[in-house]
């Protein structure tokens, strides 16, 4: 008896660690899975097409036709500056989505986390709505910054970019971002880039100067429509040096002549390498065609990068078009813009040394993707505690329902079905309204409260069909967490990791906390 009591006390105490110390995912469901019976089988890894392996959708029609979409989804389109209903170019076909990737010359920071978590959620939610999605995210593995950093470290530029690319992929895996369908690298697509530059020159929108090739913005009247900038106000982008040889200061490089000590490739204009912007135009066309559905990236890419992409792609192929331009907001740190010059540059690796990666993900999802987000330790602690409470509730529920998996048949109590229906409605309404993840997260609060009542209160323990209600509620909360990318491979493992991170932040051991208690 004494040993059992001590064990129970220890378990209760460890459950308090994150609260005391602070102030891979499952298969993706589809929308019809809200109506399906609970499934307690949990694959530890996501398959290549995880939505396929959840369980049969009750939304499928009896005659075998494809189920209707859960509801109309709306996305804010930067180009039109308004929310628009999402209508894919090929109804019933594959949705094409291109997101600008990293330039791997340093550790990835929380601004990268903000962007790629946001587009991972869009990827997941489109699949939840039964769309097949071809998601392309590139690596800019040759660039001025990479060359400068490699020279500084005395390292080969491709070796350096490969190392930081691998680190980035590791960071994304920790944050449970699903791997894109394709992850092309600039260095593997020089032929496609050269071909596109030839097309732009042939169409009269570029010129050659001493081995360099520049895009002529004066020959592209639509320039500036994405960003809303007038041509007279445009200036060279932050990565583009002023060059007196340009016909217009706003003209930008498509091809750069080789310099001593830099990587280069042969081209019709002499040895050299691609400019920054042309790569995304060439690679998106290679994998998605000249026209596709969604192009995404951070707000800082609207000008000049995405403005230049539109110009290049349209100059190379007049039929080129992208339906939706989607951009995420900036990350501030303690109310200031994050930058290396201010010394508030925070890497993903630095954060996850002390916090569970999914606590960082939950923090990021607590703000709408287009709004600026303010990173503070206090807010990260709140997200960590909330994550612990969520997993502890689901863990307790799982243990209770596994003790008795028998079902007495019949319908569930009204309170349970009402709670599930409201969760369904709130989740889909918020996510279909331009991905309001903060509202979707808030929608699980009431189900978690109901579950805790059923688990721990005298009244709840007496409720009819208590275990059946717990099983269904756990299943539906799990569904929401899966779409948001917050579902761990194991509640037990996640809780243990959260406790270990909290102890590390406090600089104490588990034994010391138990002695205090």
CA distance 339 to 103: 16
Q: Which of 342, 363, 385 is the last residue of a domain?
A: 342
Phi, psi of 188 (to 5 degrees): -90, 0
Give residue 33's pLDDT.
Answer: 63
The CA-atom distances, in angstroms, between 299 and each of 108, 226, 372 are 17, 12, 10
User: Do 385 and 271 share a structural domain?
Assistant: no
Please give the pLDDT value at position 91. Answer: 85
pTM listed for this prediction:
0.87
**Domain-located, residue 2:** no
Same domain, 236 and 308: yes
Q: Are residues 306 and 433 in the same domain?
A: no
- Strand ranges for 306-378 from DSSP E: 321-328, 331-333, 336-337, 373-375
Taking 50 as the pLDDT cut, the residues of the chain under it are: 1-26, 35-69, 235-240
How high is the mean pLDDT of the chain? 87
Q: Which of 290, 321, 342 is the last residue of a domain?
A: 342
Same domain, 111 and 222: yes
**What is the per-residue pLDDT across 167-199, written as a single tens digit (0 to 9) for each?**
999 999 999 999 999 999 999 999 999 999 999
* Torsion angles phi and psi, residue 344, rounded to 5: -115, 30
Residue 229: per-residue pLDDT: 86
Query: How many CB atoms lie under 10 A from the CB of residue 503?
Result: 18
Would you say residue 472 lies in a domain?
Answer: yes
CB proximity list for 439: less than 8 A, separation 6 or greater: 426, 429, 430
Kindly tell me the burial class for residue 327, based on how many C-beta atoms sit within 10 Å of its own C-beta (0-12, 13-18, 19 or more): buried
Q: Are residues 189 and 283 in contact, defined by beta-carbon separation less than 8 angstroms? A: yes
Is residue 223 included in any domain, yes or no? yes
What is d(CA 482, CA 133) in angstroms, rounded to the nearest whole number? Answer: 17
| 482 and 390 belong to one structural domain | yes
**96 lies in some domain:** yes
Cα three-residue angle 346-352-357, rounded to 5 degrees: 115
The DSSP call for residue 501 is H
Least Cα distance to 468 among 385, 387, 408 occurs for 408
Tell me what pLDDT residue 231 has: 66
pLDDT of 338 reads 86
Reduce the DSSP state of residue 439 to 3 states and report it. Answer: helix
Q: pLDDT at position 403, please?
A: 74
The token duo for 309 is: 């992409």
Short-list 386, 412, 404, CA closest to 484: 386
Question: Are 227 and 302 in a shared domain?
Answer: yes
The whole-angstrom separation of Cα 494 and Cα 500 is: 10
Instruction: Tell whether 424 and 482 lie within a shared domain.
Output: yes
State the Cα–Cα distance between residues 215 and 199, nearest whole angstrom: 12
Q: Which of 250, 274, 37 is nearest to 147 (CA)?
A: 274
Instruction: Give domain status of residue 237, yes or no.
Output: yes
Going by C-alpha positions, the residue among 133, 25, 177, 24 that lies closest to residue 481 is 25
The answer to whether the beta carbons of residues 476 and 29 sit under 8 Å apart is: no
Residue 495 phi, psi dihedral angles, 5° rounding: -65, -40
Q: What is the pLDDT of residue 34?
A: 55
Do 491 and 424 share a structural domain?
Answer: yes
Q: Residue 290: which CATH number?
A: 3.40.50.620
Give strand pairing partners of 324.
294
Task: Based on the fold, state whether residues 334 and 398 are members of the same structural domain.
Answer: no
What total number of domains does the chain contain? 2
Measured distance CA(149)–CA(161) in Å, rounded: 10
Segments forming the whole domain that contains residue 390: 377-402+411-507
- Dump pLDDT digits (tens) for 192-244: 999 999 999 999 999 999 999 999 999 999 999 999 987 665 544 444 456 78
Q: Which residues contact 111 (CB under 8 A, 6 or more apart)?
A: 298, 330, 331, 338
- Same domain, residue pair 480 and 421: yes
Residue 156, Cβ density class (10 Å: 0-12 exposed, 13-18 middle, ≥19 buried) = exposed
Co-location of 165 and 88 in the same domain: yes
Paired tokens of 268: 């019709």
Q: Are 388 and 307 found together in one domain?
A: no
Q: Which of 294, 316, 342 is the last residue of a domain?
A: 342
Q: Is residue 43 part of a domain?
A: no
Residue pair 56/27 in contact by the 8 Å Cβ criterion: no
Look at residue 165 and tell me if it is in a domain: yes
Residue 39 lies in a domain: no
Q: Which helix (H) or strand (E) holds 479?
A: helix 466-484
């Amino acid at each position: 008896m004494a040993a059992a009591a001590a064990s129970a006390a220890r378990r209760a105490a460890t459950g308090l660690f994150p609260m005391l110390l602070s102030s891979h995912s499952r298969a993706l469901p589809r929308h019809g899975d809200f109506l399906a019976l609970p499934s307690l089988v949990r694959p530890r890894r996501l398959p290549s097409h995880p939505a396929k392996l959840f369980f049969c959708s009750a939304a499928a029609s009896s005659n075998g036709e494809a189920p209707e979409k859960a509801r109309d989804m709306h996305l804010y389109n930067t180009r039109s500056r308004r929310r628009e209903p999402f209508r894919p170019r090929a109804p019933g076909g594959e949705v094409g989505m291109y997101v600008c990737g990293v330039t791997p010359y340093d550790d990835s920071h929380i601004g990268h986390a903000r962007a790629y978590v946001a587009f991972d959620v869009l990827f997941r939610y489109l699949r939840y709505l039964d769309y097949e999605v071809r998601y392309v995210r590139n690596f800019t593995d040759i660039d001025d910054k990479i060359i400068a950093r490699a020279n500084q470290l005395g390292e080969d530029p491709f070796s350096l970019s490969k190392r930081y690319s691998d680190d980035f992929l590791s960071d994304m895996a920790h944050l449970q971002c699903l791997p894109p369908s394709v992850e092309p690298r600039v260095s593997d697509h020089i032929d496609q880039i050269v071909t596109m530059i030839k097309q732009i020159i042939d169409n009269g929108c570029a010129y050659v100067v001493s081995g360099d090739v520049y895009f002529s913005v004066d020959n592209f009247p639509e320039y500036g429509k994405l960003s809303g900038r007038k041509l007279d106000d445009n200036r060279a982008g932050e990565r583009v040096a002023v060059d007196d040889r340009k016909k217009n200061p706003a003209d930008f490089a498509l091809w750069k002549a080789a310099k001593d000590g830099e990587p280069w490739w042969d081209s019709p204009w002499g040895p050299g390498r691609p400019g920054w912007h042309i790569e995304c135009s060439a690679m998106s066309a290679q994998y998605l065609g000249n026209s596709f559905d969604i192009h995404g990236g951070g707000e800082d890419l609207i000008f000049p990068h995405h403005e230049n992409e539109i110009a290049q792609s349209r100059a190379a192929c007049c039929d080129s078009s992208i339906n939706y331009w989607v951009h995420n907001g900036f990350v501030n740190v303690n109310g200031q813009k994050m930058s290396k010059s201010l010394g508030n540059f925070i890497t993903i690796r630095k954060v996850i040394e002390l916090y569970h990666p999914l606590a960082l993900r939950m923090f990021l999802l607590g703000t709408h993707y287009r709004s600026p987000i303010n990173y503070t330790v206090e807010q990260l602690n709140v997200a960590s505690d909330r994550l612990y409470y969520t997993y502890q509730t689901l863990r307790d529920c799982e243990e209770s329902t596994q003790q008795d998996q028998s079902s007495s048949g019949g319908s569930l109590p009204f309170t349970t079905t009402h709670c599930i229906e409201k969760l369904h409605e709130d989740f889909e309404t918020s996510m279909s309204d331009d991905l309001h993840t903060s509202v979707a997260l808030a929608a699980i609060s009431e189900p978690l409260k109901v579950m805790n009542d059923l688990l721990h209160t005298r009244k709840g323990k007496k409720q009819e069909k208590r275990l059946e209600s717990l099983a269904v509620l756990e299943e539906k909360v799990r569904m929401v967490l899966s779409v948001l990318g917050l579902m761990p491979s194991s509640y037990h493992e996640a809780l243990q990791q959260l406790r270990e991170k909290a102890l590390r932040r406090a600089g104490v051991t588990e034994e010391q906390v138990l002695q205090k208690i």
